[in-house]
Amino acid sequence: MKDEVRTIVEKIGGVVEEVKKSEIYVRIPQQTVRTAARLLYDSEAYFKTCVGVDEREVNGFYTIYHIFGLDSQGVDIVLKVLVPEEDPQTSSIVSEVPAADWCELEIQDLLGIKFGGRLTKRLVLPEDWPDGVYPLRKEFRYDEKPSRVIREELHEEAGIPVGPYHPALHEPEYFELYVEGEKVVDVAYRGFHVHRGIEKLAESPRFTYKQVPFLAERICGICGFVHSTCYIMAVEKAADIETPERAEFIRSIVLEVERLHSHLLWIGVAAHLLGYDAGFMHAWRIREHVMVLAEYLTGSRKTYGINVIGGVRKDLNVDKIDKTMKTIAQVREEFKKLADALLSIPQIKSRAVGTGVLTKSEARALSVVGPVARASGLYRDVRKDYPYLAYGRVSFRVPLYTEGDNLARLLVRVEEVFESIEIVKQLVDLLPGGSVVVEEYDIPPGRKAVAAIEAPRGEDVHFVITGLGRPYRWRVRAPTYQNIPALRAMLRGTPLADAPLTIASIDPCFSCTDRVLVVDIETGRKSFIKLVRGG
C-alpha cells in the first residue's frame, strides 16, 4: 500500500480485510458508511458503483460493496457493509455521493435491502412485478416467473415524448421533455425496457465460467468485447490466472479496433442528428474498413467471440498484422479529411457550441465517465489511471476539453479516433511472441475482484465473486449507467432541436444499462405546465 492510500484507509477506520495490488477491501460498520463515503469522495475518489450480494450461505449476511476508485493512485477502495438477514436495511450514501443513486435503488429492488435516509421508489423492476419478490436472492430461481400484479397507471404522460422507439436513438428508452416554447426546462427519464436479467443468469446452473464471456459480449451490440474482456479480467484477477503477454496485446488491439468502430459509428449518428447526412454516410463508409478488419482478426464483424479465460482463441499472423497496419493507415487518412469537412459545416458548429452543457462540478458529483467526463474537464481514462492489459506499454494523449458542451464531446471523440490508431500502431510494433492462451487453470470459490476497462463510452466496471463452476455473483456497471443521470443537467435549458443530439452526445447504450430498470418520475413533477399542448 502506498502511503497516501494508507493514510486514507486509516482515516476511514474499519477492518482491512484484503489488500491486493489494485484493490483494498475494508469492512466498516453500517453506522460509519456515510462518513467513510464522504471521506473518500473528499479524497478525490470517484464512485464506481455499489453491489449487493446475497452472501447468507457464506457468512449469514447480505453484503453491500461500495466501490470507490482512487484514480490518482490507481487503486480501488471497496467498502464492505454487512446487512443482517432479519433486518435488511442500511443507511444510504446518496447525500454524500449523488452518483450512488441508481445502484442503491437497484439493490433495493433486486435484493430487498432498504436504504434509510433517502427518497426511495421502485426503480429496477417493472410495475407489474409483485412486491416482496427479490430476484437476486439466492432462493429465487433464475427461470422463475412470478405472477403479474396489475397496478393502476401511476402517472399520465405529458410533455414532449422522445421514445420509447425514437427514430434518432434506435433503442427503446423514453424521455419526457418539458418545454417552454422550444426550450427544454425539465426532463423525465424512463429506461430499462429491455432488462434481460443476465447477472442472475450467469450465476445460474445454466451457465459456466467458460460460457459467460459469450453472454457478456452480448451485453452491448457495439462494445461487447469490452464486456467480455472485463468479465474475464475480473475472473483472472480473482483466480490469479496469468494470461500470456501476447494475449493481452491482442485483446488491447481488438479493444482499440472496437473503439474505432464505435466512435466512427457515433460520429456518423451525430452528423445525421445535425441533418448532415453526408457526414453520416461517409463516417459509416470509413467504419466499414474497421468492421472488415475486425472480422479478419476475430472471425466476426461484431461479438468477436475470441475471448476465453486465460487468453484468446485467435492468434495474429503476418498477414493479419499487415492488414491491420494498412487498414488503420487508410482509416486515418480518410477520417482526417472527413473530420475537416465535418467540423467546417456551419450548422454543426452553431448547434453544438454551448448546447447540452455539463459543468465540471456536476460531472464530478455524478462521477461521470469517458468522453463525457473528458469534455467537462475531468482527466479520467482507465487506460491511464489503472493501466490494464498492454496499455501500460504505449503512450497516447488523453483529449481534454473544459467547455462541457456537445461540441467538446464531439471533439474528444474525433481526437480519440486518432489516438486509437496510434495505440494500435504501437501495440503491433511491440507485439511479443509466445502462446496466446493458458489451458490449465483453477478458479477457487470465494475470491473477489474488480476490473475496469475504458470502453468507448467510458469506464466499464465488472465485479466478480467466484463460485463453484460459475460466478457466485457477477455485477456489471456499464458506462451509460453512470452517464445517463447527467443528462438531466445537460438537457435543461437546451433548445428542443438539440435535445436528440444532447441525448446522443453521451453515446448512450441503453441495452447495456438495461440489465436493470429505472423509472424517474417524481409525483411533484406533474406540476409542470405543458406549455406546448397539442390540439
**CA 253, CA 264: separation in Å to the nearest integer?**
17
Residue 238: alpha-carbon gap to chain centroid: 21
Would you put residue 44 in left (φ > 0), alpha (ψ -120 to 50) or beta?
A: left
Q: Is 344 in the site for another protein (CB under 8 A)?
A: yes
- Residues 127-166 as x/- pattern, contact with another protein by CB under 8 A: ---------------------------------xx----x
Of positions 348, 411, 436, 489, contacts another protein by CB under 8 A: 348
The site for another protein, by CB under 8 A, has a size of 59
- Does 199 sit near another protein (CB under 8 A)? no
Cβ 426 to another protein shortest distance, Å: 24
Transcribe 282-344 into DSSP letters. HHHHHHHHHHHHHHHHHSSSSS---EETTEES----HHHHHHHHHHHHHHHHHHHHHHHHHHH
Do 268 and 168 meet the contact criterion of CB atoms below 8 Å apart?
Answer: no
298 lies in the site for another protein, by CB under 8 A: yes
Q: How far is the CB of 158 from another protein (least distance, A)?
A: 10
64-72, 417-425, 444-452, 492-500 -> range binding another protein (CB under 8 A) = 492-500
Chain centroid offset of residue 328 CA: 26
Q: Which is nearer to another protein, 48 or 515 (CB)?
A: 515
Q: How far is the CB of 72 from another protein (least distance, A)?
A: 39
Among 69, 94, 89, residue whose Cα is nearest residue 79? 69
Applying CB under 8 A, among 16, 39, 194, 496 the residue interacting with another protein is 496
Bridge partners (DSSP) listed for residue 186: 178
Site string for another protein, 212-231 (x = CB under 8 A): --xx--x-------------
Residue 119 or 468: which CB sits closer to another protein? 468
Decide: is 196 part of the binding site for another protein (CB under 8 A): no
- For another protein, give the closer residue by CB, 86 or 156: 156
Residues of this chain, 254-283, that bind another protein according to CB under 8 A: 271-279, 281-282
Q: Which is nearer to another protein, 68 or 474 (CB)?
A: 474
State yes or no: residue 329 binds another protein (CB under 8 A): no
In the complex, the smallest distance separating the C-beta of residue 49 from another protein, rounded to whole angstroms, is 26
Q: Does residue 340 touch another protein according to CB under 8 A?
A: yes
C-alpha cell at 518: 429505472
- Return the number of the residue (434 or 535) whose C-beta is nearest another protein: 535
* Sequence-distant (≥ 6) Cβ neighbours of residue 352 within 8 angstroms: 274, 405, 406, 407, 410, 498, 501
Yes or no: say if 343 and 349 are a contact pair by the CB < 8 Å rule: yes
Classify residue 363 by its DSSP letter. Answer: H
Beta pairing, strands 23-27 & 75-84: parallel
> Applying CB under 8 A, which of residues 31, 95, 204, 211 lies at the interface with another protein?
211
Cβ contact 37:55 at 8 Å? no
Which of 84, 126, 299, 446 is close enough to bind another protein by CB under 8 A? 299
Q: Are 103 and 45 in contact (CB under 8 A)?
A: no
Candidates 285, 326, 397, 526: give the one binding another protein (CB under 8 A).
Answer: 285
Q: What is the closest distance, in whole angstroms, from the C-beta atom of residue 232 to another protein in the complex?
A: 14
Residue 531 is given by DSSP the state: S
Answer for the pair 54, 111: CB distance below 8 angstroms, yes or no: yes
As measured in angstroms, the least distance from the Cβ of 170 to another protein is: 11
Nearest CA among 101, 82, 105, 85 for reference residue 93: 101
- What cell numbers appear for 170 in the block? 434506435
Q: How far is the CB of 521 from another protein (least distance, A)?
A: 18
Q: Residue 3, SS3? A: helix
For the beta carbon of residue 181, count every other beta carbon within 10 angstroms.
9
Binding site for another protein (CB under 8 A): 160-161, 166-168, 182, 207, 210-211, 214-215, 218, 271-279, 281-282, 285, 288, 292, 295-300, 303, 305, 313-314, 334, 337-338, 340-341, 344-348, 350-351, 495-501, 532-535
